[in-house]
Structure 1
Amino acid sequence: MFWYGHDVGGWGWFAMSAGMIFFWAVIIALGVLLYRALARPGGSSDRADNRPLESTSEQILAERFARGEIDEDEYHRRLTVLVKTTGDVTRTGRH
């Protein structure tokens, strides 16, 4: 093919097409990585249960009760034991 005095052939079109596909693939990959970094709740957390690191024993017990792992009687029994062992009188009204 004769184009303004230069014989480009098919390789020029191939290189331009491959370059454009590579360019857009990099732009899309950067966009996805940025979205994942910003949309992750609590920053970069690899914990499977997504609980905060400062969960108290009462919070963990309440979560187990909410998931149905323990029944109401066991929840109150364990909560009473936790309140006795921590010695915190203000927590007794929460159960």
Structure 2
Amino acid sequence: MMYWNDGGMNGWGIGLMTVTMLLFWALVVLGVIALVRHLGRPAPYGPTTPVPPPAAPPVRPDPEQLLAERLARGEIDPDEYRSRLATLRGGADDPPASG
């Protein structure tokens, strides 16, 4: 029996092995890239996307509290505060006499 090339590979075998290895590593690299891109992208819908709770309506302070805040900020003087407070409470339009 005669063995060609002493049982080693010829040019076609080396070329085919080189092309096959290049294709294999290209597929591995492309697979890793595809996996990283898929895992890095957030899901647009589904149970993993948190849904923010509905916003509570703002709480409005009562008119007497607003009037007291205006007095504290200095927007109105104490006489005007007493007059407006009496009006809010349904009392007389004239402020009580202070003495």
Fold shared, TM-score > 0.5 on shorter chain? no
TM-score (norm 1): 0.44
TM-score by length of 2: 0.43
Q: Tell me which protein shows more helix as a share of its residues.
A: 1
- Give 1 or 2 for the bigger CA radius of gyration: 2
